Amino acid sequence: MDYAESNDYEYYVHYTEFNRRLDEWVKLDHLDLDSVETVVDEKVEDKVTSLKMTQHQKRKIDETRVEVGHEELDAASLRELEEFTKVKNIATIELGRYEIETWYISPFPQEYNDSLKLYFCEFCLNFMKRKEQLQRHMRKCDLKHPPGDEIYRSGTLSMFEVDGKKNKVYGQNLCYLAKLILDQKTLYYDVDLFLFYVLCECDDRGCHMVGYFSKKLSDMTAIKAEDILTTLQSLELIQYRKGQHVICADPKVLDRHLKAAGHGGLEVDVSKLI
């Protein structure tokens, strides 16, 4: 293979001791091969060695399949090895008017693994591999805001509550999108038990997502009265008078707590909650 052919390949680079969001694919001419050292990375060597199992510890992986080249690992060890050696494949996404660089790997379906860039519909969050597919989709997509209930509106800002049970595909796509920029984000394929609160900036073209948070539904909050009392007592916001607890919000105490908390973000106008 001559140099021209070898330069057609890209090489995945991880910078030791740096966050994985800095990982990148580079051409051969970006590598200084004269400075290569043949020192074995002991951390990697120890990591892989610690995953190896003895003969009597071997088990069938997931009872249905065995990964070629990793027959000696059980299911848990294989998942750990995959986590340790995974690489980022999707470099950028297009969402509305913005092209966004990704930081981390997100486990999109396998057919998207060869895509360096994905195109998202900013309203329904369906994703495609080509710009032409997105353009055709946008001519058919009838959504102009997240598929949920608008629960707040103030000026150009709106908040939508999206039920993961009613809008499962949207919830899953939102998790795929978030995982690209959040390293520790847990990807939930089963989003039935989640509510997604999507903040949008609205104009004459529709409501464009700028952020979100999620909340897991539960029949019980697991917060007991004792927990509330203890918290209020630690904040000096409650007193025990005449056989009962009474909230006592001293202005000086409140001011101290507010200063300690720092400045907040935008204030919510409760009169505009829907």
Neighbours of 218 (CB within 10 A): 8
- What are the distances in angstroms from CA 247 to CA 102, 140, 227, 238? 47, 56, 15, 4
Burial of 171 (0-12, 13-18, 19+ CB in 10 A): buried
Residues 6+ positions from 174 with CB-CB distance below 8 Å: 125, 162, 196, 198, 212
Rounded-to-integer distance, Cα 190 and Cα 195, Å: 12
Which domains occur in the chain, in start order? 76-216 (3.30.60.60), 225-260 (no CATH)
Q: Return per-residue pLDDT of the chain as tens, 274 residues.
A: 455 555 678 787 888 877 777 787 788 887 887 777 765 555 555 555 555 444 344 443 333 333 333 444 456 555 554 554 467 778 899 999 999 999 888 888 889 988 889 999 999 999 999 999 999 999 999 999 999 999 999 999 999 999 999 999 999 999 999 989 887 666 656 888 899 999 999 999 999 999 999 888 765 555 667 777 778 888 888 887 877 888 888 888 888 888 887 766 677 888 888 7
Q: Which two tokens stand for residue 242?
A: 């005449």
Q: What pLDDT is stored for residue 98 in this prediction?
A: 94
The residue assigned the tokens 């991880």 is 14
Full-prediction pTM beyond 0.85?
no
- What are the distances in angstroms from CA 51 to CA 8, 63, 85, 95, 108? 34, 19, 13, 40, 26
Q: What pLDDT is stored for residue 163 in this prediction?
A: 94
Q: What pLDDT is stored for residue 196 in this prediction?
A: 94
